[in-house]
Amino acid sequence: MTRAELAERIRSVAYLEGEFTLRSGKKSTFYVDKYLFETEPDILTELGRLFAEKVSSRTTRIAGAELGGVALAAAASMASGKPFTIIRNAKKDYGTSKMFEGRISPGDVILLVEDIATTGGQVLEAARVIQDAGASVERIVAVVDRGQGAADNIRTAGFAFEALFDSYDLRLPIT
């Protein structure tokens, strides 16, 4: 699948119009429903392949935040052969009470994958969990950058950021 075909496939299955409130609290007239594209095997396979291309010789692990980043991290892991870790949104109150599932070891260099980047808030929280565990975030890569501040916020926080697609690639309005 070409990059243009993948963008069209994501748009065709996940682009919705209406009145939406985003995680950031911002209002939008369009929404890219990550679960609609992340649950399609052909799309997930291609995204995993594209994320795997972002793995460097330094990368020891891939991570994704629950819930949307889990399938992406798993797909990237399978495509690259690197293990993956799930970053929790909140510490669990039982068992190991960790903020992540899987392993993060001091010194790990992690590719952090994200679904839709609006302000970057959730992925920055995940990056802090990784750093608190003694690892470093090599870069953050999102499927879609909505063009609403995520790139600047993530870079201002000191992380490298890129997106596979932006609103223009998916022919979406920027609101």
How far apart are the C-alpha atoms of 23 and 152, rounded to whole Å? 17
CA-closest candidate to residue 167, choices 20, 17, 71, 30: 30
- Which residue segments constitute the domains of the chain, with CATH numbers given? 3-166 (3.40.50.2020)
Query: How many angstroms separate the CA atoms of 16 and 172, rounded?
Result: 10
> Kindly report the CA angle at 67 between 37 and 104, in degrees rounded to 5?
120
Q: Please give the pLDDT value at position 86.
A: 97
Q: Which residues pair with 145 in a beta bridge?
A: 117, 166
Between CA 43 and CA 38 the distance in angstroms is 7
Give the global pTM.
0.92
What is the reported pLDDT for 90? 75
- Terminal-residue alpha carbon distance, the chain: 29
The pLDDT of residue 173 = 55
Mean pLDDT per 10-residue section of the chain, whose length is 175 residues: 92 91 83 94 98 98 95 98 94 73 97 95 96 97 93 97 90 58
Collapsed DSSP state (helix, strand, coil) of residue 48: helix
Structure tokens at 37: 């594209």
Residue 166 token pair: 């932006």
